[in-house]
C-alpha cells in the first residue's frame, strides 16, 4: 500500500463546502483563451533552427496544463483482485499504512498517507486512499449535481465515513478535501462499481443512463345498460365495451444525443381507455405514450441483464407494452340462454415495468487520449462540432459527437471522449464512465499531447487503460496522432516518440490541431481503417424486421392469451391455504366486475369448467380450507350436490378509507 501527503487548509476552510474545481475560474486571468491567435507567435511548421535561436516561451497554451499520467506496471494492477476485502496493491515503494486488523472496512486495496497541516498543527494523517475518488470537474456541473434529487446522497456516504473516523477531527467536519496539487478528493465507499456511481455528478451519470417507469394504459370498463326507447319494448342490453388502454412505445429520436431528458421525467403512463356507455357506445382508446431515446440506446428491464431492445437508427419504433383490453359491456354477453345479462367486465390492467436505459453512442470513430491532449480541438477542426476547449484537464465532461464529411457519400461520425486517467478502468477520473461509448466505434484515434513530459508514457497509459477496461476495445484498429507539433517541446520529442512507436510496429502521425496542420491525414487514415473494419453501422442494410422490435409486447400478449385452464395449485399446510396460480385465471379474476350479481355465478362456473374444483378435490381440500385465486379469497365448502369455494371476499381492498377517530 502506498502513502500520499496532503496539505490541509484551516479547519474553518475545511468545514465550508468548497468547489470541487481546482481549475482557475473562467474569468481568471490565469486561464488562457482558446483563440488560436495566442499561437500566432509560434510558427505553423516549427523549424528547428528557429526554436533554437528564439525558443517560444513555455507559457503557450496547450502545453502547460497537460497532466502526466504514470501508470503502475500492468502486472501490479492485474495481479491482485479488485475485490473489497483485504486486497493489497503495490503502487509505489512508499510505506504501508498500518490498519486495524479488527476492522475489515479499513483493509482496503490502496492506502496513502496524507500529511495534514491544520492550524499550525502538522500531523500525519492516515487516510484510506481506497475510499477516495479523485476527479476534477467544472463548477456548473457541480451545481447541477447538488440539486439532483435522485442522486445518491454523497452526504450520506460521507456521514458513514465520518462515523468510521469519528476520532479524527479532520473528517468530523469535512467531506471533501483538496490535495495540494489541485485534485479534489471525495470520501466514498470503495466498492467496485459503486464508487463510480456515487462520485460521478448527476449530469454525467444521467448523460448515458436512466431508469424510468413505464405503464401501459388500463382498459376501460364495460357497462350494463338496457335500451329504453319509446315504441321499442324490451330493447335489450345496450352496454358498450370499454376502450383499449394506450400503448407504450419506445422511439429513436435522431436529434437526441444523451439521456439527460430522463432526469426531468421518470414516469411514463399511457392513458386509460374510456369506459363504455349505454346505447352501445364503446369507450375511446387511451392515449399512447412514446418514450423518445437517443440513437444507440439499450433497453433492459431494471435489475436484469437481458437486453430487451437495442435501438440504433433514428425513426425506429418499438411497441414495448400494449395497453389493456377494454372490458366487455353487457351487450356482449347476450346469448340465447341469457337475453338480459346483468354482467360487464372491468378493463384489463395495463402492464408496467421499470426500465434501465443505457446509451452507447453510435459513432464510427472515437477520439481517446489523456486529459488536455487536444481531442476536442481535433474534433472542432475536422467537423462542425463546437466542443468546449480549454487549457486544463477534464474540460470535456460529456462525450461530443461530430460528423466528418469527405464528400456527399462518405461521412463518418466521430466521438470526442473525456480524458482518460491512470486507474480509469477502476473508476478514476471521468473517462471510464464514457469508455463504453467507444465499444461501437470501428476505429480509434489516440491523441497524444506531444508537449507533455513523456508522450510515450502518456500513450502507453491510455493503451493500458483501454486494455484493462475491455480487451476488445484495445483490439480495435487505431491511429496515433501526436499533437501540438507547433510547440517546441513537442517538436523536439517527436523523433524519439516516432522511433519508439515504429519499433512497436505503429506508424504515428504528427499534427497541430490548433493550426489545422496534419489533421487531414489523421482523419483520412481513420476513415481508411473504418472502411476496412466496418462496424454495425455500416452493416446496416434497410430497416430491421419490425416484428423483432415488438417482441416484448408479443410476450405480454402471449401471456395474456394463456388458456384459463393452465394453472398450478400450491398448498400451504401450516395455514390450510390453497393458492391457485395461472395467468389466464388471474386475468379473469381481475377483469371480473364483482358488483354485478351474475359475475359470481359466472366465476363459479369457470372454476368448475376449467377443472380447478376437480383438482382441489383430488389434492384433498377439506371443508373450511381457504382457496385463493388472484385477488379473491374463498372458503371451501363440501356439499353433496355441488362442492366448491364460496364466501368470496377480496383479499386486499385497494380503497383506503379515512380513519375515523
Ligand X SMILES: Nc1nc2c(ncn2[C@@H]2O[C@H](COP(=O)(O)OP(=O)(O)OP(=O)(O)O)[C@@H](O)[C@H]2O)c(=O)[nH]1
Q: Which does 398 bind (CB under 5 to 8 A by kind): ligand X, Mg ion, none?
A: none
CB closer to ligand X out of 106 and 394: 394
Distance in angstroms (rounded) separating the CA atoms of residues 164 and 105: 9
State the nearest-atom distance from the C-beta of 371 to Mg ion, in Å: 8
Binding site for ligand X (CB under 6 A): 32, 34, 39, 60-62, 369, 371-377, 389-391, 393-396, 418-419, 483-484, 486-487, 512-514
By DSSP bridging, strand 184-187 and strand 209-215 are unpaired
Rg of the Cα trace of the chain?
33
Residues in the chain: 661
CB closer to Mg ion out of 20 and 34: 34
| Residue 52 DSSP class | H
Query: Cα–Cα distances in Å, from 586 out to 292, 325, 583, 598?
Result: 33, 15, 5, 18
State the nearest-atom distance from the C-beta of 58 to ligand X, in Å: 11
Closest CB to ligand X: residue number: 62
- Interface with Mg ion (CB under 5 A), residue total 3
Question: Contact region for Mg ion (CB under 5 A) — 77-85, 256-264, 388-396, 555-563?
Answer: 388-396
CB closer to Mg ion out of 67 and 396: 396
Q: Is 376 in the site for Mg ion (CB under 5 A)?
A: yes
CB closer to ligand X out of 452 and 599: 452
Binding characters for Mg ion, 72-111, by CB under 5 A (x = yes): ----------------------------------------
Contact 115, 97 (CB under 8 A): no
Contact 22, 180 (CB under 8 A): no
Contact 367, 415 (CB under 8 A): yes
Query: Cα–Cα distances in Å, from 600 out to 577, 617, 632?
Result: 21, 20, 11
CB closer to ligand X out of 32 and 227: 32
**Alpha-carbon dihedral sign for residues 304, 307, 310, 316:** negative
Q: Is 395 in the site for Mg ion (CB under 5 A)?
A: yes
CB closer to ligand X out of 39 and 247: 39
CB closer to ligand X out of 138 and 442: 138
By DSSP bridging, strand 568-572 and strand 184-187 are unpaired
Q: Which does 390 bind (CB under 5 to 8 A by kind): Mg ion, ligand X, none?
A: ligand X
State the nearest-atom distance from the C-beta of 6 to ligand X, in Å: 24
From 299, 312, 294, 440, select the one nearest 357 (Cα to Cα). 299
CB closer to ligand X out of 479 and 556: 479
State the nearest-atom distance from the C-beta of 32 to ligand X, in Å: 6
DSSP codes, 96-139: PPP--TT-GGG--S--EEEEEEETTEEEEEEE-GGGEEEE---H
Q: Is 380 in the site for Mg ion (CB under 5 A)?
A: no
Question: Contact region for Mg ion (CB under 5 A) — 139-147, 392-400, 433-441, 650-658?
Answer: 392-400
Binding characters for Mg ion, 507-546, by CB under 5 A (x = yes): ----------------------------------------
Q: Which does 327 bind (CB under 5 to 8 A by kind): Mg ion, ligand X, none?
A: none
Q: Which does 483 bind (CB under 5 to 8 A by kind): ligand X, Mg ion, none?
A: ligand X
Give φ, ψ of 317 to 5 degrees. Answer: -135, 130
State the nearest-atom distance from the C-beta of 446 to ligand X, in Å: 11
Q: Is 67 in the site for Mg ion (CB under 5 A)?
A: no
State the nearest-atom distance from the C-beta of 38 to ligand X, in Å: 8
DSSP codes, 567-608: -EEEEETTTTEEEEE-HHHHHHHHHB-TTSHHHHHHHHHHHH
Cβ-based neighbours of 628, under 8 Å, separated by 6 or more: 577, 578, 579, 580, 634, 651
CB closer to ligand X out of 361 and 390: 390
Q: Find where cell 428491464 sits.
A: 301
* Chain residues that interact with Mg ion, rule: CB under 5 A: 376, 395-396
Amino acid at each position: 500500500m502506498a502513502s500520499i501527503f496532503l496539505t490541509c487548509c484551516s479547519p474553518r476552510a475545511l468545514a465550508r463546502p468548497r468547489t470541487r474545481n481546482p481549475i482557475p475560474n473562467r474569468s481568471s486571468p490565469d486561464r488562457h483563451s482558446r483563440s488560436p491567435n495566442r499561437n500566432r507567435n509560434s510558427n505553423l511548421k516549427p523549424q528547428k533552427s528557429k526554436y533554437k535561436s528564439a525558443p517560444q516561451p513555455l507559457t503557450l497554451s496547450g502545453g502547460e496544463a497537460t497532466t502526466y499520467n504514470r501508470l503502475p506496471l500492468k502486472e501490479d494492477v492485474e495481479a491482485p483482485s479488485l475485490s473489497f476485502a483485504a486486497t493489497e496493491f503495490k503502487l509505489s515503494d512508499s510505506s504501508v499504512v498500518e490498519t486495524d486488523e479488527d476492522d475489515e472496512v479499513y483493509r482496503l486495496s490502496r492506502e496513502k498517507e496524507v500529511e495534514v497541516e491544520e492550524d499550525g498543527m502538522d500531523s500525519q494523517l492516515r487516510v484510506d486512499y481506497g475510499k477516495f475518488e479523485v476527479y476534477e470537474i467544472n463548477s456548473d456541473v457541480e451545481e447541477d449535481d447538488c440539486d439532483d434529487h435522485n442522486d445518491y446522497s454523497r452526504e450520506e456516504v460521507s456521514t458513514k465515513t465520518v462515523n468510521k473516523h469519528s476520532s479524527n477531527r479532520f473528517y468530523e467536519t469535512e467531506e471533501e478535501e483538496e490535495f495540494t496539487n489541485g485534485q479534489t478528493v471525495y470520501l466514498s465507499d470503495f466498492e467496485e462499481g459503486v464508487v463510480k456511481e456515487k462520485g460521478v455528478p448527476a449530469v454525467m451519470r444521467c448523460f448515458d443512463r436512466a431508469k424510468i417507469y413505464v405503464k401501459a394504459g388500463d382498459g376501460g370498463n364495460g357497462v350494463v345498460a338496457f335500451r329504453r326507447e319509446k315504441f321499442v319494448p324490451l330493447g335489450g342490453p345496450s352496454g358498450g365495451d370499454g376502450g383499449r388502454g394506450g400503448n407504450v412505445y419506445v422511439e429513436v429520436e435522431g436529434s437526441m444525443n444523451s439521456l439527460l431528458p430522463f432526469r426531468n421525467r421518470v414516469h411514463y403512463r399511457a392513458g386509460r381507455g374510456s369506459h363504455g356507455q349505454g346505447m352501445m357506445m364503446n369507450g375511446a382508446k387511451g392515449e399512447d405514450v412514446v418514450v423518445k431515446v437517443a440513437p444507440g440506446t439499450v433497453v433492459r428491464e431494471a435489475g436484469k441483464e437481458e437486453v430487451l431492445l437495442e435501438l440504433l437508427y433514428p425513426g425506429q419504433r418499438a411497441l414495448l407494452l400494449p395497453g389493456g383490453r377494454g372490458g366487455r359491456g353487457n351487450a356482449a354477453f347476450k346469448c340465447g340462454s341469457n337475453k338480459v345479462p346483468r354482467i360487464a367486465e372491468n378493463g384489463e390492467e395495463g402492464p408496467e415495468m421499470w426500465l434501465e436505459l443505457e446509451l452507447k453512442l453510435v459513432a464510427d470513430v472515437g477520439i481517446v487520449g489523456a486529459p488536455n491532449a487536444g481531442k476536442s480541438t481535433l474534433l472542432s477542426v475536422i467537423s462542425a462540432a463546437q466542443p468546449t476547449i480549454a487549457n486544463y484537464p477534464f474540460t470535456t465532461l460529456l462525450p461530443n459527437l461530430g460528423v466528418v464529411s469527405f464528400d456527399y457519400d462518405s461521412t463518418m461520425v466521430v466521438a470526442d471522449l473525456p480524458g482518460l486517467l491512470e486507474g480509469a478502468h477502476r473508476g478514476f477520473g471521468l473517462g471510464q464512465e464514457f469508455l463504453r461509448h467507444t465499444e461501437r466505434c470501428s476505429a480509434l484515434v489516440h491523441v497524444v499531447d506531444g508537449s507533455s513530459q513523456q508522450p510515450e508514457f502518456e500513450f502507453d497509459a491510455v493503451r493500458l487503460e483501454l486494455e484493462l477496461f475491455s480487451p476488445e476495445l484495445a483490439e480495435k484498429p487505431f491511429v496515433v496522432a501526436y499533437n501540438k507539433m507547433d510547440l517546441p517541446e513537442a517538436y523536439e520529442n517527436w523523433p524519439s516518440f516516432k522511433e519508439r512507436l515504429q519499433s512497436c510496429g505503429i506508424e504515428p502521425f504528427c499534427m497541430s490541431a490548433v493550426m489545422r496542420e496534419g489533421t487531414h491525414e489523421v482523419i483520412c487514415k481513420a476513415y481508411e481503417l473504418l472502411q476496412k473494419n466496418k462496424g454495425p453501422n455500416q452493416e446496416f442494410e434497410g430497416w430491421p424486421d419490425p416484428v423483432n422490435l415488438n417482441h416484448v409486447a408479443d410476450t405480454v400478449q402471449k401471456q395474456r392469451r394463456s388458456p384459463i385452464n393452465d394453472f398450478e395449485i400450491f398448498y400451504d399446510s401450516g395455514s390450510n391455504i390453497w393458492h391457485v396460480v395461472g395467468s389466464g385465471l388471474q386475468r379473469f379474476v381481475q377483469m371480473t366486475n364483482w358488483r354485478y350479481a351474475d359475475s359470481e355465478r359466472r366465476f363459479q362456473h369457470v372454476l368448475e369448467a376449467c377443472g380447478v374444483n376437480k383438482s382441489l378435490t383430488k389434492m384433498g381440500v377439506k371443508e373450511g380450507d381457504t382457496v385463493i385465486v388472484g385477488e379473491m379469497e374463498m372458503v371451501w365448502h363440501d356439499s353433496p350436490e355441488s362442492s366448491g369455494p364460496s364466501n368470496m371476499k377480496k383479499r386486499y381492498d385497494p380503497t383506503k378509507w379515512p380513519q375515523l377517530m
